[in-house]
Structure 1
Amino acid sequence: MRTVTVGTRGSTLALAQTRWVVARLKEEWPETDFRIQTISTKGDRDRASLGSLAQKGDKGFWVKEIEDALLTGRIDIAVHSLKDLPTEQPEGLEVSAIPKRVDARDVLIGKEGRKSLVQLPPGARVGTSSLRRKAFLRAYRPDLQVIDLRGNIDTRLAALGTGEYDAIILAAAGLIRTEMRHRIDEFIDPDILLPAPGQGALALETRADDDLSIEVAYAIHDHATDDRVTAEREFLAGLGAGCLAPVGAHASIKGGILTLEGWVGAPDGSQLIRATTSGDPAECADLGAELAADMLGQGAQALIEAARGEGTC
């Protein structure tokens, strides 16, 4: 029996995602022995420095050590949250599969009587560490206090009971994958809070010359998800922005047409640039690049620069 070692971060969410991936791979490759290896990343060890790392151009704080393990052969497949993966990859590595995406939306979890954005009174305290969420929430509800909330899913949920927050905002995908969907009080409409590029999607990364691992990973590739997230990530790349920027993007495919929406916001919510494009899903990369050029022409670069180093992904 051949063995394939799958690498991941050691957080509750990362392990849940990886176990899901391994279960799907096992269905396609029942004669293969899949082993999970956890790897500590710079982002896990030093969350307080994420902003300064981004300012220095270090975009791989969630993935570098995992990619190093791939390059040295310690693991065969890496599982990442796609939104954490830089748009440029190291030489010798490639994304070999994008599994089917789960819900890309953000969600609200609130205290009693404050279970939706509409129910939040003026001055309500909303917790998130994402600069994107802060910017877009401030644009929608400038009367809210949007304050930092850090840590893993369990830590953030526990923080709601401390009295410091009236509500918190998380990605739906994390709660769904960790079997905590029941904790969600409201799925926030993307017209209010546009998701991060690639949110809700996973990436299976391999060595570019490892034909076996590429074949194994590709067994759970989803073409429609790939087209959607390619458009979103090409939009992000075209802006020259990483995950530490107030940028949202979401692509959908209906009737054979891919529609991509992109937002860039000022950190304080005082300005929000929005644009949409659509076309053939086969042209997904070009659509993302074209939308980025459109946004840059509207002044998006100044908003991105103003936000550098102010928050975390």
Structure 2
Amino acid sequence: MARERAIDIELATDRQAYLPGDAVTAFVRLNPREDLEDVECSVALVHIDRYPTGDSGYTDDRAVAGEYVLAEDALAGGLARELTAVLPVPRRIVPPEKPEDCADERFPLSGDDADPESYDSWIEPEERWGPPTSVGPGGSSLWLVRCEVTGSGRFPDPVEVPIAVLAPQVPMPAEQPVRQGGGTPLCTVSFFGLPRSSVPPGTTLRGTVRLVAKDHLKARGVRIELVRHTAVASGRGRTAVRHSVTTVAASGPLELRPRQPKDLAFAVEVPVDAGPSIVSEDYRVDWLLRAVIDRPLRRDEVWEQAIAVHTS
């Protein structure tokens, strides 16, 4: 028969969402069921990357900030202890090229330069960063606060509280649409009227797609898709996942004449749970507007335009 744990852990944060550069205030309440000696309690801000690798998946779990709120202390049974930790959220949201890129005056020295008795001795200088929260097929960036209690008693597993790190607004990508698939291009595609800056979830993205055929071209219709594209490039392999989240019809059957532009208006909903565009160490998440010219009994003509989504 399993023995009862010696302590209960309660963990909460001052809010659920944070911007890069903010600080998380974590509240810990320890409820010992008996007298305990040499109790150690740590609270850490943790970033997690998850993405597929071949037939399996890979998870990278690392603390970017942490604090020992108890260090070999004694706790009296039945007497709750309340503790607080303040954990800075890194300002840097893209992979560093060198450790100095993660420099932030809010953090103490880390790694070999840290006080060996501090939590920061477990964190390397180049680990003080992390992309914003973005969850979806192909790859996810997650954040949480973790509280762990250790000692000579029977302690429960670490307690975790998920949080969200928001992505700030950025300019829309300047790249032109890119054709997908092989063969000879049958037309050119361009987008007009899109916002100049990234858009938040829940937005109706309005614009115009312009088609210019090289020769006479018949189509059953043109549709616009909003696609979450995750590209993984790591030592564990290369994968790409395109996940269409919204599809709208921009036209019914139509004929395009050579070198005569055809403009089609469209409106695409960005889902309310859409995560932002991010770049991590081994993968990136981009959002694409995909124009699909549906050709009867032939390969569709497909062009993709990069856009950006933010969550702040």
Calculate the TM-score normalised by the size of structure 2: 0.24
Decide which structure has greater helix share.
1
Decide which structure has greater strand share.
2
Greater Rg over alpha carbons, structure: 2
* Structure with bigger RCO (C-alpha 8 Å, 6+ apart): 1
Calculate the TM-score normalised by the size of structure 1: 0.24
